[in-house]
Amino acid sequence: MCGISGEARFDGSTPDTDAVIRMSDAMRTRGPDGTGHWTDSWVALGHRRLTIIDLSTAGAQPMVREDLGLALVFNGCIYNYPQLREELRAAGHTFRSTSDTEVIMVAYAQWGEAFVDHLVGMFAIGLVDRTRRRLVLARDRLGVKPLYLTESPGRLRFASTLPALLHGGDVDTAIDPVALHHYLSWHSIVPAPRTVLSGVRKLPPATLRVVEADGRSRDHVYWQPEYARDPAHVGRDARDWQLAVGDALRTAVRRRLVADVPVGVLLSGGLDSSLIVALLAEAGQHHLRTFSIGFDSQGDEAGDEFHYSDQVARAFDTDHRRIRLADDDLLPAVRATVAAMTEPMGSHDVVAFHLLSEQVAKHVKVAQSGQGADEVFAGYGYHQPLMTVPRHGAAEVFASAFFDRDHAELSRVVGPAYANDRDASRELLVAELAAPGAETALDAVLRLDTHRMLPDDPVKRVDSMSMAWGLEVRTPFLDQDLVTLAAACPPEHKVAQGGKGVLKAVAREVLPAEVIDRPKGYFPVPALRTVSGRVRTLVLDALRAPVARERGLFRPEYVEELLADPAAAQAAAGSNKLWQLGLLELWLQTHQR
């Protein structure tokens, strides 16, 4: 829902409203239903609106309440806003709209900085406290909604996308060598607060930043569940955990129905999205709109999973749409997808999400999706061996399964100007896994997956691609209460049944066994996974372009190695090293200004 932007000045000058307008205009697709701007003596705010809740002009942003001394821009959805509004009314507050936006504002008036503790939802917030002369920035607990920042002497700017900040101008677009190290090591993931550009950072998930009018700021991490056993759960057996997780997931799915427009489901045919459909049907959602996408097969590799998604659609009588696309549709889609990327994303299925979102947005404005279940409930192959290693052995197991390249190979990849003597990715991995608050090796890795990797891979991918078409995607498996419960769940219940055991136990009561016990699948896009045909030509053109040679980001001899040996280009978990390099170059050539 929406795109936000803003500028704060700390040097006595007035905000650059033209820059804020340029940033907002760059996010038109995130908010095609309206636009607004507001300025005070030292802060300016901008907004693009996607109407989901309170479709009237009373819900427009920036929202200003002179009586409260507050102004606000907000991207996301507060699922418990009706309950909060009643609680705040009982405390004596009044409302002028039926929007969740105004509930955030009044919650701040009531609880101050603790307002975020009361919000259940996905959100990125920019709130101006005019009385205290401070700017309050906040991001939701799991980082579902993004918030990018760029600072220079006397000024701070923020926006929902990195390209929007670039449209504002005056951003250091040099490559961050540490971020590049992460990108090339971790399936293109660059964990917060870094981005691949030195001059742009992102507010980490579950973080509240208070910025004073003189430029001083402070951060507060307001949520982090313990990945350890809770004494209150002593005595629970597998069945007890199944019931608890089932109840929490049902609540999460129902919460994400709040809207003044219809809500659909992105149905891949896998366990996670199929379970969402089943629970929505159980909750009384009849003729639910569901959507699946497929591509051309290649050799023995299928390009769709329609067999499974059709089975689920029939079982629950959904209004189902198959979307089948040919390889010829991919090439123009790659360029459009790169243009929509808020950061470089090397996963081959990002193009599939872009194409799927384009079609889904023709029918609904809101859809639920199964992202996050693997990270929260131990669904990846590398989670299994972590049950039998000591805590100090977690880093080696994770790295051997997840890293695309080790530090030694990276020295052969990047040009001399971008070389990093330190193994920055391994150092961050070890520090994260060693931090207190996780009981076992698997607990530590699941915490890393959920709170560091997830926000900057599948979550960012889905938000960027869906919002490029004005489609809001909601993720029940990232419900704060469900994640907290899963963190406390004993690891053996999660790795059972080959992974996601407790979730599969919930599913067995509502889904066909074939959907639950099927081999694990991913968004199949064979032509992109293998970088073949016209896609290969596009990648090579990007890597051999004059601007790429001048940048010198990658060593030409390494690129030629990958071209000579396609098998060597395949990295962990199906990642393609050649696509990863070409995608970064394409992104830089598209966005770097």
Using alpha carbons, select from 194, 192, 95 the residue that is nearest to residue 143.
Answer: 192
Reading the block at residue 459, the tokens are: 């979550």
Question: pLDDT for 224-267, tens place per residue?
Answer: 999 999 999 999 999 999 999 999 999 999 999 999 899 999 99
Kindly report the CA angle at 540 between 410 and 589, in degrees rounded to 5? 80
Residue 200 and residue 189: Cα distance in Å, rounded?
A: 15
Q: DSSP string of 345-385?
A: ---TTHHHHHHHHHHHTTT-SEEE--TTHHHHHT-SGGGGG
| Backbone phi, psi, residue 201, to 5° | -125, 170
What 3-state class would DSSP assign to 446? helix
Q: What is the pLDDT of residue 593?
A: 63
Q: What is the pLDDT of residue 347?
A: 84
Cα Rg for the chain, rounded, in angstroms?
Answer: 23
Residue 112 and residue 125: Cα distance in Å, rounded?
A: 14
Q: What is the pLDDT of residue 328?
A: 77
Question: pLDDT for 394-443, tens place per residue?
Answer: 999 999 999 999 999 999 999 999 998 899 999 999 999 999 999 999 99
Exposed / middle / buried, residue 3 (Cβ in 10 Å: 0-12, 13-18, 19+): buried
- What confidence tier does 102 reach under pLDDT thresholds 50, 70, 90? very high
Q: In whole angstroms, what separates CA 408 from the centre of its chain?
A: 30
Q: Is the dihedral of CA 46, 48, 52, 54 positive or negative?
A: positive
Instruction: Please say if the pLDDT value at position 100 is more than 60.
Output: yes
Question: pLDDT for 261-304, tens place per residue?
Answer: 999 999 988 999 999 999 999 999 988 999 998 877 766 667 67
Task: Give the residues across from 219 on adjacent strands.
Answer: 209
Q: What is the pLDDT of residue 574?
A: 57
Q: In whole angstroms, what separates CA 311 from the centre of its chain?
A: 28
Q: What is the pLDDT of residue 326?
A: 77
Instruction: Please say if the pLDDT value at position 521 is more than 90.
Output: no
Question: pLDDT for 152-198, tens place per residue?
Answer: 999 999 999 999 999 999 999 999 999 999 999 999 999 999 999 99
What 3-state class would DSSP assign to 178? helix
Proportion of the chain above pLDDT 70, given as a percent: 97
Exposed / middle / buried, residue 563 (Cβ in 10 Å: 0-12, 13-18, 19+): middle
DSSP state for residue 554 in the 8-state scheme: B
